[in-house]
Structure 1
Amino acid sequence: MANPKRSAGVRNAPKTNRKGRKKRSLWLRIPLWILSIMLVVGVIGAGAVAYAYSSIKLPDPNSDFKTNTTFVYYNDGKTKLGSFQVQNRQTIPYAQMPQHVKDAIVAAENRTFWTDPGVSASGLFRAGLGLVGLAPADVTASGGGSTITQQYIKIMYLTSEKSFSRKAKELLLAAKMGQTLTKQDILEGYLNTVYFGRGAYGIEAASQAYFKKPAAKLDLAQSVALAAIVNSPGNLDPANGEQQAADLLERYQYTLNGMVDTNAITAAQRAEIYDALPKFPKRVQDSTYGGPKGFLLNMVKNDLLAKGFTESEINGGGLKVVTTFSAKLQDAAVKAAQKLTLQAAGGDKKAAKQLHAGLASIDNATGGVLALYGGPDFLTSQWNWATNPRPTGSTFKTYAFATALENGWSFKDTLNGNSFTPKGDSVPVRNADGNFGRITMQNALTHSVNSAFVDLVTQIPDGPAKVQAMAEAAGLPSGGHWDLSNRIALGNTEVSPLNQAAAYSTFANQGVRHAPHVVAEVFDDAGKSVFQADTEGTQTIPMDVATDVSYALTKVTQDGTGSRAAYLGYPVAGKTGTVGYGVKKKTSYGTVTVRETRAAWFVGFTRQVTTAVMYVKGKQGTSDLGHGFYGATWPLSTWLDYMQVAMNGKDKIAFDPPTNRPSTISPKPTATHTPSATPTPSATDTPTPTDTPTPDPTTDPTTTDPPTQPGNPKPTGTATKGP
């Protein structure tokens, strides 16, 4: 057991000064009647606490076996998707708990544990005020941070209700427990009952869940990591993503600092393990999260947490959760992604494991996620390719097009379709199909002409910031990985397929934005509806702008780079995108620049459904996809396979005609720009200023996507003719 005296410090006697005398004089100026009221309130509060403390007794503990499984359903409310439940709890004696575990949990949760009475004096005073109904209006029922004793009381005897009466009872029971049980007994009970995430209650179950070993064999770093996770298990599990791992590292370092402050470890011990988390083994296979559905359940749980449900309510509250996912469409998404991934890898299953498809599909009318494919098995890799951002390529041109419309441009306004070097830049903007001369804004979008969109953003005052604002209005997250340069339309900005689908859905829905969500409704264990998703939507883009953007994107799927989407047999709008990098490599012929494709996209929608598909390669999604991998090939084919199921039986609803808004601008010729030589459409066109591979916005392979390319699978739709 840690020595309580270690954390106790000796304070110097306060010095008398003018500031102190000033404070005393302020007290002297307070009216006597106010001081009298304060004294009476204090006496009443203290009396209430004393009376309650003397009469209260520790009740029987809550039974772990009274928890009920929470069931999760598809959007029909009948087909089961999965469940959340209280999993294993293995109680172990205090002696089997490593000292590092005990010290770490104290440093993380309650550094004065060994010396405090279980509660703070201020906490007891607030409890007294609450008991007599005199709590200040600006004091919340949840109060401040809880001691370990208070947390243990809440786990064992109380509910999660947020009220002054419950908080007061918690404080009084904690004070009573502090006098009834030893600190060792309290810490032992706490470490055997507190929730660590992954369905694990208690340190033994947590050790097995996270590190596949008994608690007695945990090393220092592992002990600290588990202690850090207790603060917010749902948000600090490193398996849930990069942000969660980063947040855990911050909490982990906070705990280590606390262990040094309480003399549990030395500064040298801290330094050895401070900069990185311990290695976490892959999650053990279980039926709850296995396969692609694990990504859905993880999203459902995170959505519930974001909506205010607690871990205990989710895992043991007996809830019925109805999601927005369609069982039929989810099955179609999984089949399309896995079939086309294998075909793209030439039938090689080993190679297919290096290819990653991310698919997200949105109900335009509500924002509900109809289907999502984040990967083949959540337990093999928790990296969700549908929710993690990657560069978007030419799919980002849509936001620049919308920005231009909002700023007075029209479909027929012309732009510079030739390769050129923008003023103040050193790298020319190139088009894979060479020069187009003066080109209308519509044709620039249809054929994905890079130079025209750089010219467009340059001519719009404060263009990059306005494009960003438009993208955010459509639904992209604020504060993302924005490329605020005149090349922003070329898609170095990183967006996830889910957010891209949600943003394009805003255009499909005539400018009304819906927040993407996966939980439609929640019922408690008595069958009462306790939550319903907000599906009202907000008009964030002018209707005429959204209508014109949708119409313009139909030309892409009729005559441009996404023309194969017409095989769906429904009115459809969309945009291809391919992210190219120029990389210098040494060969027997010397150093040459080669083109690598790092991401390929297709985002398309009907009036009812919007779906985004992205392909990347490699563990981090940054490897070369290889020759022939464009937005119009495998991503569009995957989109077609899925959308044939998603649209089956739905009405064919045409997009509204353009508003024929007149132009209010006079596009300026790009005379100030330095023309560059006409490029040849080859993969080696991409200039690379440095040897370090960097995103190169000057090459957009989407402009060369053919209707049928060698090696590209033919669509399986029922339409009898192509675009």
Structure 2
Amino acid sequence: MTRGRKWAGRIFKSVAILAALCLVAGAAVVVIGYRTTSTPDANKDFTTNTTFVYYGDGKSQLGSFAIQNRQSIPLKEMPDSIKQAVVSAENRTFWTDPGFSISGMIRAAWRIARGGTLQGGSTITQQYIKIMYLSQDQTITRKFKELLIAAKVGRTVPKEKILEDYLNTIYFGRGAYGVQAASQAYFDIDAKDLTVPQAAVLTSVLNNPSYFDPAVDDANTPRLLERYRYVINSMAETKAITPAEAQKYAEKLPKFPKVSINERYGGSKGFLLKMVERELINAGLDQGEISGGGLKVITTFDKSSQKAAEKSAKKYTKQAAKAAGKKSSNLHAAIASVEVGTGEVLALYGGPDYIKNSRNWATTPRPAASTFKAFALAAGLKSGFSLLSRFNGNTFTPQGDGVPIRNEFSYQYGPVNLIKATYDSINTAFVDMTTQMDNGPKKIVKMAQALGAVRPKGGPGWDENSRIALGSAEVSPLNQANAYASLANDGVTVPAHVVREVRDAKGRVIYKPKVVEKRAVSKDISRDVTFALSNVVEQGTGRSVQTLNRPVAGKTGTNGVNNDITSAWFVAYTKQISTAVMYVAGDSGNEDLDKYARPGDSTFFGGTYPALTWVDFMAKATEGMPVKQFDPPAYVNRDKVVVPKPQPTRTQQTQPTTQAPTKTATSTPTQTKTSQPTTQAPTTQAPTTQAPTKAPTTKTTAPQTTSAPTTTTKPKTKQTTSNAQGSG
């Protein structure tokens, strides 16, 4: 025998001996662990600890999640419908298996070893054991202990007892632990009265309450129906019900009665708690742990700002309703405020009482109107235009469009640059610019989404046509505030979020949001957009917010359809905070707002109650903050000679007198203007920048020429078309 073979033989023997020793040691560990592991008693050992939610200071309590709602009942009081449904869908071999699945345990160990998260057990026994360990520990040690307990329970505890304890401790959502509490939470009945369809719903929901409970999200309903049908078919396959019954039950979900919502969600704070809960679920935290794991959740909400949002929204909805002689409950104000650069939501007002009306208007998308023009402006600058490029300010019909595009009150401006087009919210100029761009509508939509104006799934108004800049696209106030925050943040987006940190019962940090910054547009373009939007406040439709006495850049928006105003906006930012205010009316949020218009106004403009609400809130939200100036405009592309193609002007309209119109009868309240810059149609001369004359406002003007745009007197009655039109 060669020397090499001798060494190979010795190594083989050593490995074999080592493996045998490991097996013996492992077996000893298993035997000792098995003998020393005690089986849980669900009625004695199962407890939950209340999770508390705090404002951003980590000290002031915002609210709490479910205190344990659990009512144990004996197995004999549970109907066959729920027992058969759970066994059929969750663990068909329950009555014969040893209580654990080796293959499932190996898969779980492999996931943990690779840095994955711990998954639920593959048998009812294992799921029951997992319930007894409400913690976020993702360790093989914990999983090994669960396996030992499952093996011991499977050998020593009757199956009937296991099923009883499981159905008395499993979390069904809505703060309900166990089938009795769940039956009351979902169907307002005792468990003994559950029908087969109702039992199938509860069996579906326990698989993942946050994913299947229709009360959590409207999108859960179709998912629940799919899972429900799976449960019904499983019951048919195990002969718990007949094929004919399965076919009948699978047609639709049973009816859900109106069940009172837990009082802890009362008031406007209910909207905040629900947002926190959903964000944690989306982050991967188990809903049972969220509700009963004794967590400490620190949110991003600023207590003072939140109080100011509630006060401002209620103040102006009541004021508007009282002046109109209407009920304030039919007028809805929404406020969303985001910190620039961090994405932290500082304040959010979705309604006065979550229990009375659970629709969160601050996260409900509605037509963004002319606040969408900021995205069109950014897209135009990126496509090669400059703030000094001139476009058609008169009524015209875009090529291929049979309906003329008009400005508010059919006002004729003549050729205008993008600065004036923005601060006077000139529809025709933005449509003209859109048609001059290659794939203009697509570029505007892409820019809006890149900045953070999220397009809702299936959301209307996002059709890529020449009028996209006018704001038929539906965006929520929260997303609109975040998109404008991206402009304030030099074109860098940061996802909006409401949770800053989560600690477990032992004080360990178990979750922090992963904030990923992404550049949406160049710094120079964002500076130019900010300059144009600051002119809206200095001399345009947003003049009413000058009382904040600090630099503000923003945009008004008023959406009109068939002579009805369906949404009115004011979205604006300082260097530190971006805030969106939206007003809508009626249960649908699509009813006419004009009946709430301010006395003396024919229309509910964005420059009235929305702007007043904004400045009232921001006065408190910015209190104590340093006054910061915006960067001067970069005037991107100013060296390029951009000559837009001429668009035909609709000349058949009768031209009134040439008397200059007054601005106070339109979208803004009468105010005294102080040292506002003048911006007229420029020449191709390079722009000059005028330094600010005094704090806190920055006044940078575009170059002036001696030619003023053609003007006409505004008619006294508003004119809209059947298509949505954005105005100031």
What residue number does 1:591 align with? Answer: none
The 8 Å contact of residues 45 and 125 in structure 1, kept in 2 or not, is answered as no
What residue number does 1:456 align with? Answer: 433
Please report how far the alpha carbon of residue 110 of structure 1 lies from its aligned counterpart in structure 2 after TM superposition: 3.2
Identity of aligned residues (%): 47
The whole-number CA distance in structure 1 between the counterparts of 2:425 and 2:251 is 45
TM-score (norm 1): 0.80
Please report how far the alpha carbon of residue 46 of structure 1 lies from its aligned counterpart in structure 2 after TM superposition: 13
The whole-number CA distance in structure 2 between the counterparts of 1:68 and 1:238 is 25
Q: What pairs up with 1:591-610 in 2 under 5 angstroms? A: 595-610=563-578
The 8 Å contact of residues 65 and 291 in structure 2, kept in 1 or not, is answered as yes
Taking structure 1 as reference, are residues 126 and 172 closer, same or farther at Cα in structure 2, changes over 3 Å only?
A: farther
| 1:437 counterpart = 2:411 | no
The 8 Å contact of residues 51 and 290 in structure 2, kept in 1 or not, is answered as yes
Unaligned runs of 5+ in 2: 1-14, 596-602, 655-713
What residue number does 1:197 align with? Answer: 173
What residue number does 1:494 align with? Answer: 474
The 8 Å contact of residues 283 and 380 in structure 1, kept in 2 or not, is answered as no
Taking structure 1 as reference, are residues 99 and 624 closer, same or farther at Cα in structure 2, changes over 3 Å only?
A: farther
Q: What pairs up with 1:516-535 in 2 under 5 angstroms? A: 516-533=496-513
The 8 Å contact of residues 112 and 139 in structure 2, kept in 1 or not, is answered as no
Q: What pairs up with 1:402-421 in 2 under 5 angstroms? A: 402-421=378-397
Please report how far the alpha carbon of residue 598 of structure 1 lies from its aligned counterpart in structure 2 after TM superposition: 1.6
| 1:540 counterpart = 2:526 | no
The 8 Å contact of residues 158 and 170 in structure 1, kept in 2 or not, is answered as no
Taking structure 1 as reference, are residues 159 and 441 closer, same or farther at Cα in structure 2, changes over 3 Å only?
A: closer
TM-score (norm 2): 0.80
The 8 Å contact of residues 134 and 293 in structure 2, kept in 1 or not, is answered as no
The 8 Å contact of residues 394 and 649 in structure 2, kept in 1 or not, is answered as no
The whole-number CA distance in structure 1 between the counterparts of 2:576 and 2:186 is 42
The whole-number CA distance in structure 2 between the counterparts of 1:620 and 1:465 is 29
Please report how far the alpha carbon of residue 492 of structure 1 lies from its aligned counterpart in structure 2 after TM superposition: 1.8
What residue number does 1:217 align with? Answer: 193
Higher mean C-alpha deviation, range 338-347 or range 170-179: 170-179
The 8 Å contact of residues 364 and 610 in structure 1, kept in 2 or not, is answered as yes
The whole-number CA distance in structure 2 between the counterparts of 1:580 and 1:457 is 20
Please report how far the alpha carbon of residue 685 of structure 1 lies from its aligned counterpart in structure 2 after TM superposition: 4.1
Please report how far the alpha carbon of residue 117 of structure 1 lies from its aligned counterpart in structure 2 after TM superposition: 4.0
The 8 Å contact of residues 459 and 667 in structure 1, kept in 2 or not, is answered as no
What residue number does 2:129 align with? Answer: 153
Letter in 1 for 2:63: G
| 1:381 counterpart = 2:357 | yes
For 1:227, what is the secondary structure of its paired residue?
Answer: helix
1:670-720 superposed Cα distances (whole Å, 9 cap, x missing partner): 45x6858549868774444xxxxxxx23x33x34xxxxxxxxxxxxxxxxx
What residue number does 1:647 align with? Answer: 622
Q: What pairs up with 1:165-244 in 2 under 5 angstroms? A: 165-244=141-220
Question: Over the residues paired in the alignment, what is the CA RMSD in angstroms?
Answer: 3.5
What residue number does 2:541 align with? Answer: 561
The whole-number CA distance in structure 2 between the counterparts of 1:279 and 1:218 is 13
For 1:197, what is the secondary structure of its paired residue?
Answer: coil
What residue number does 1:101 align with? Answer: 82
Letter in 2 for 1:409: F
Please report how far the alpha carbon of residue 374 of structure 1 lies from its aligned counterpart in structure 2 after TM superposition: 0.9
Q: What pairs up with 1:315-326 in 2 under 5 angstroms? A: 315-326=291-302
What residue number does 1:32 align with? Answer: none
The whole-number CA distance in structure 1 between the counterparts of 2:560 and 2:605 is 10
| 1:631 counterpart = 2:606 | yes
Please report how far the alpha carbon of residue 390 of structure 1 lies from its aligned counterpart in structure 2 after TM superposition: 1.6
Taking structure 1 as reference, are residues 60 and 144 closer, same or farther at Cα in structure 2, changes over 3 Å only?
A: closer
Higher mean C-alpha deviation, range 330-339 or range 246-255: 246-255
Letter in 2 for 1:475: G
The whole-number CA distance in structure 2 between the counterparts of 1:61 and 1:195 is 17
The whole-number CA distance in structure 2 between the counterparts of 1:257 and 1:683 is 62
The 8 Å contact of residues 371 and 471 in structure 2, kept in 1 or not, is answered as yes
The 8 Å contact of residues 261 and 355 in structure 2, kept in 1 or not, is answered as yes
Number of aligned pairs? 641
Please report how far the alpha carbon of residue 123 of structure 1 lies from its aligned counterpart in structure 2 after TM superposition: 3.0
For 1:654, what is the secondary structure of its paired residue?
Answer: coil
Please report how far the alpha carbon of residue 645 of structure 1 lies from its aligned counterpart in structure 2 after TM superposition: 1.2
The whole-number CA distance in structure 1 between the counterparts of 2:112 and 2:540 is 66
The 8 Å contact of residues 344 and 496 in structure 2, kept in 1 or not, is answered as yes
The whole-number CA distance in structure 2 between the counterparts of 1:93 and 1:64 is 17
Taking structure 1 as reference, are residues 438 and 285 closer, same or farther at Cα in structure 2, changes over 3 Å only?
A: same
| 1:251 counterpart = 2:231 | no
The whole-number CA distance in structure 2 between the counterparts of 1:182 and 1:50 is 27
618, 623, 627: which one aligns with 2:586: 618
1:85-125 superposed Cα distances (whole Å, 9 cap, x missing partner): 43221001122222222233334433444454433453366
Letter in 2 for 1:635: P
Letter in 2 for 1:609: I
For 2:267, what is the secondary structure of its paired residue?
Answer: coil
Taking structure 1 as reference, are residues 58 and 78 closer, same or farther at Cα in structure 2, changes over 3 Å only?
A: closer
| 1:475 counterpart = 2:452 | yes
Please report how far the alpha carbon of residue 404 of structure 1 lies from its aligned counterpart in structure 2 after TM superposition: 1.1
For 2:490, what is the secondary structure of its paired residue?
Answer: coil
| 1:339 counterpart = 2:345 | no
Please report how far the alpha carbon of residue 51 of structure 1 lies from its aligned counterpart in structure 2 after TM superposition: 8.6
The whole-number CA distance in structure 2 between the counterparts of 1:58 and 1:614 is 58
| 1:570 counterpart = 2:550 | yes
For 2:298, what is the secondary structure of its paired residue?
Answer: strand
Please report how far the alpha carbon of residue 350 of structure 1 lies from its aligned counterpart in structure 2 after TM superposition: 7.4
The 8 Å contact of residues 120 and 130 in structure 2, kept in 1 or not, is answered as no
Taking structure 1 as reference, are residues 459 and 298 closer, same or farther at Cα in structure 2, changes over 3 Å only?
A: same
Please report how far the alpha carbon of residue 495 of structure 1 lies from its aligned counterpart in structure 2 after TM superposition: 1.2
The 8 Å contact of residues 195 and 202 in structure 1, kept in 2 or not, is answered as yes
The whole-number CA distance in structure 2 between the counterparts of 1:332 and 1:139 is 43
Taking structure 1 as reference, are residues 315 and 454 closer, same or farther at Cα in structure 2, changes over 3 Å only?
A: same
The 8 Å contact of residues 112 and 138 in structure 2, kept in 1 or not, is answered as no
Please report how far the alpha carbon of residue 334 of structure 1 lies from its aligned counterpart in structure 2 after TM superposition: 0.8
Taking structure 1 as reference, are residues 354 and 227 closer, same or farther at Cα in structure 2, changes over 3 Å only?
A: farther
Please report how far the alpha carbon of residue 305 of structure 1 lies from its aligned counterpart in structure 2 after TM superposition: 2.6
Taking structure 1 as reference, are residues 183 and 53 closer, same or farther at Cα in structure 2, changes over 3 Å only?
A: farther
